[in-house]
Amino acid sequence: MSKKSNGTLDQRRAKVLLIGGGGVGTIAALNLERGGLASVTVVLRSNYETVNEHGFNIESCDHGSLTGWRPTEVVDRVPIAGEGQWFEYIVCATKNVVDVPPSLTSIIAPAVTPSTVIVLVQNGLNIEKPFLSAFPSNMVLSGVSFMGSSEPQHGHIKHDFNDILVVGAFHNPSVDAVTEEHAARRFVELYSAGGRTKCTYSADVGWTRWRKLIYNACLNPICAITGLDTGRIRLADGVIDGLVRPAIDEIRAAARASGHELPDDITDTITKIPLDMYLPPSMLTDVRKNNFTEFENLLGEPLRAGQALGVPMPTLQVLYHLCQAIQWRNKEAKGMVKIPAKRTYTD
């Protein structure tokens, strides 16, 4: 069937604005375009010039090797909706550092119209709250991605682990749940059209997100703080039993208190990551590059959620404050906080 064979609604290409063409975002854009049901405008920042000139070079476990690939459109700023532009979906695939401005809500605001569906392909808890607050009549979808993909150089995408995406709606009290489910299922349809990825709908957004926190609130900060990757963290003295298991037990207890029962053997999933792959989790990569981490969404939010429900979380509490200190160190190094001058001694 030709993409433009007729004018019926389900066959026109959905206009998608995708923010953040890094490892995950670029593969999402590629997959949406390849499905033929969406045309994607990608907003780039640091890699804009490279990609605008040369396109993306992609090595993908799902899509093969592509040289000079381009989405429908590449732009260096968020378009203003209404100037001949209108987006059905805005997919946010950037890193989400809520404690460092500008906020993602302010970044996407110019493109948001009353009917725009916002899709957050990002990790952590309560990430929808600023969006529901800034755009109270819009639908906001949850995308939990399990793909492994990075951008070692500008415009070069290395996609190592299959694109698995779980989509559902964050509930907006001003929207009825059936409409939200329809929007989520339609996005699954767009994303699944290419046939190369595993995109599923799940109504239980909370469970899906707590499930992923086993990795992101526990292993991720422990690796970032110690400088050890997923293999070394298992080999190092005392770390699994002294840190990883206690942290996971605390996340499980907080999830349970929040109404989400995670499976008994969930702890073992961490220790089943093949040892000899030596993967750096995202926060470790960030810390190594002196970049900001997503510690507030990945660790701070579940900690606050659990503590508010009376769950003791002593391990995550310490990890949280250490991540907070490391974040501050990077803010100071980047000149975002000023400190008193060093005292000089004439002694």
CB nearer a second copy, residue 80 or residue 325 = 325
Residues 6+ apart with CB under 8 A from 3: 11, 13, 36
- Tokens representing 12 are 């026109």
Q: How far apart are CA 304 and CA 317, in angstroms?
A: 9
Q: Which is nearer to a second copy, 172 or 297 (CB)?
A: 297
In the bound state with a second copy, the residue whose beta carbon lies nearer, of 199 and 222, is 222
Angle between helix 245-257 and 301-308 (nearest 10): 60
Q: For residue 4, what is the DSSP state?
A: T
Of 117-125, 127-135, 231-239, 254-262, which segment contacts a second copy by CB under 8 A? Answer: 231-239
328 binds a second copy (CB under 8 A): yes
By CB under 8 A, is residue 50 in contact with a second copy? no
Q: How far is the CB of 312 from a second copy (least distance, A)?
A: 9
Whose Cβ is closer to a second copy: residue 160's or residue 189's? 160
Taking the least distance from each CB to a second copy, the nearer of 168 and 221 is 221
Nearer to a second copy, 75 or 236 (CB): 236
Taking CB under 8 A as the binding criterion, the range among 66-74, 80-88, 191-199, 230-238 that sits at the site for a second copy is 230-238
Nearer to a second copy, 222 or 254 (CB): 222
Q: What is the DSSP string of 69-125?
A: E--SEEESSPPPTTSS---SEEEE-S---TTSSSPHHHHHGGG--TTPEEEEE--SS
Least distance from C-beta 314 to a second copy, angstroms? Answer: 4
Total chain residues near a second copy (CB under 8 A)? 43
- Residue 297: partners with Cβ closer than 8 Å, 6 or more residues away: 96, 98, 122, 123, 124, 125, 126, 127
* Contact flags string 103-142 toward a second copy, x per CB under 8 A: ----------------------------------------
C-beta of residue 61 within 8 angstroms of C-beta of residue 161 = yes
228 secondary structure, DSSP code: -
Tokens at 284, concatenated: 């470790």
* Six token digits for residue 6: 């007729």
How many whole angstroms separate alpha carbon 221 and alpha carbon 227?
10
Secondary structure of residue 46 in the 3-state scheme: coil
Q: Which parts of 232-271 interact with a second copy (CB under 8 A)? A: 232-233, 235-239, 242-243
Identity at 214, one-letter amino acid code? I
Amino acid at 75: V
Interface with a second copy (CB under 8 A), residue from 65, 289, 341, 346 = 341
Q: Does 225 bind a second copy (CB under 8 A)?
A: yes
**Contact region with a second copy (CB under 8 A), list: 121-129, 181-189, 206-214, 319-327:** 319-327
Indicate the residue among 1 and 341 with the shorter CB distance to a second copy.
Answer: 341
Position among 82, 332, 334, 336 found at the interface with a second copy (CB under 8 A): 332
Interface with a second copy includes 325 (CB under 8 A)?
yes
* Residue 267 CB contacts under 8 Å (≥ 6 apart), including other chains: 214, 244, 245, 248, 249, 252
In the numeric block, the tokens 């750096």 are attached to 280
Binding of a second copy at residue 158 (CB under 8 A)? no
Euclidean distance between CA atoms 13 and 114, whole angstroms: 20
Task: Looking at residues 269 to 288 of the shown chain, list those that interact with a second copy (rule: CB under 8 A).
Answer: 274-278
**Contacting residue, 150, 226, 271, 307, with a second copy by CB under 8 A:** 226
Q: How far is the CB of 165 from a second copy (least distance, A)?
A: 21
Q: Does 227 bind a second copy (CB under 8 A)?
A: yes
Interaction site with a second copy (CB under 8 A): 61, 222, 225-228, 231-233, 235-239, 242-243, 274-278, 314-315, 317-322, 324-329, 332, 337, 339-343, 347
